[in-house]
Amino acid sequence: MSNGNEEPTDLDWIQLRRDMGTSHHTETTKEKFVRKFKENPFVPIGCFATAGALSYGLWCFRTGKTKLSQRMMRVRIVAQGLTITALVVGVMMTAGKSLN
């Protein structure tokens, strides 16, 4: 461990964890996605809706269906707006929980 007023290093923390016998679980990407999806399912759904509308709109533009392409770009904007709204509401709810 460090002496005096020195800041502990990463190795000091590792040794401290070993000495205390605590195990530290690192969350995998899949576990984090599942946890975040359960907390606020509208954000990933909105992201997939946005990506889907964008992809289909670009495909329609490429195949010459300009009116449908324009409509899909408008759907994309709405999906993006709803996703941002869901994200902000989720952040506000999480901040509200931490204050209580």
Q: List pLDDT tens digits, range 7-48.
A: 767 777 777 777 776 666 788 999 988 988 888 889 999 999
3-state SS record for 83-100: HHHHHHHHHHHHHHHHHC
The answer to whether residue 60 sits within a structural domain is: yes
Task: Give residues with Cβ within 8 angstroms of 47, minimum separation 6.
Answer: 83
The answer to whether residue 84 sits within a structural domain is: yes
**Domain, as residue range, for 93:** 42-100
Record the pTM.
0.66
Alpha-carbon distance of 16 to 79, in angstroms, equals: 48
Give the count of domains, the chain: 1
